[in-house]
Amino acid sequence: MTNIDFKNHGEIPLQYRKLILEEMNVTRVSKVPLVICNQFIQDLVNLDEADMTLMDYDVEFKKDGQTRMMHFSDYQSALVQIDRVLEFGECRDDSVVIALYQAKKLIRGYVAGEWIGIPERDQLIIRKSSSN
């Protein structure tokens, strides 16, 4: 994690200056205390770093008795690999298993020739109670 600590307002890059002016609704960055500027920029950097972890995809698959794991930096590339594993829809082998992960979290699965959704961890399940 990058630590932000500008010593004066002049050190703040233009890209952050514009965001500070817009967010703080001021006409000059120097009107905003440096401590607040540094914290605001730190929050932006942390958010960007967190967003980058979401661009981390893994495709794990088992086909023809072999298991492989492949890493991708975008969703589209991961889907193309899945299409290749499934031979662009021509694969009729029910033993093929595919797991698609985003930021190390399982988001989709393919088992026995069908796609399965992964329920959210905090998803509510409503069950009917039996009447006696």
Q: Determine the pLDDT at residue 7.
A: 92
In terms of residue numbers, what domain contains 84? 57-117
Higher pLDDT, 103 or 117: 103
Q: Determine the pLDDT at residue 98.
A: 92
Higher pLDDT, 29 or 52: 29
**Rounded Cα–Cα distance for residues 71 and 48 (Å):** 21
> Does the pLDDT of residue 35 top 60, yes or no?
yes
Question: Are 39 and 84 within one domain?
Answer: no
Distance of alpha carbon 63 from its chain centroid, rounded? 27
Residue in 51, 72, 44, 42 with CA at minimum distance from that of residue 60: 72
Higher pLDDT, 1 or 80: 80
Q: Determine the pLDDT at residue 82.
A: 86
Q: Determine the pLDDT at residue 34.
A: 92
Average pLDDT over residues 20-37: 90
Instruction: Give the total number of structural domains in the chain.
Output: 2
Residues ≥6 apart with Cβ < 8 Å to 56: 71, 73, 102, 103, 104
Tell me if 129 is assigned to some domain: no
Question: Are 47 and 88 within one domain?
Answer: no
> Does the pLDDT of residue 85 top 70, yes or no?
yes
Question: Are 41 and 62 within one domain?
Answer: no
Tokens 């009107």 locate to: 31
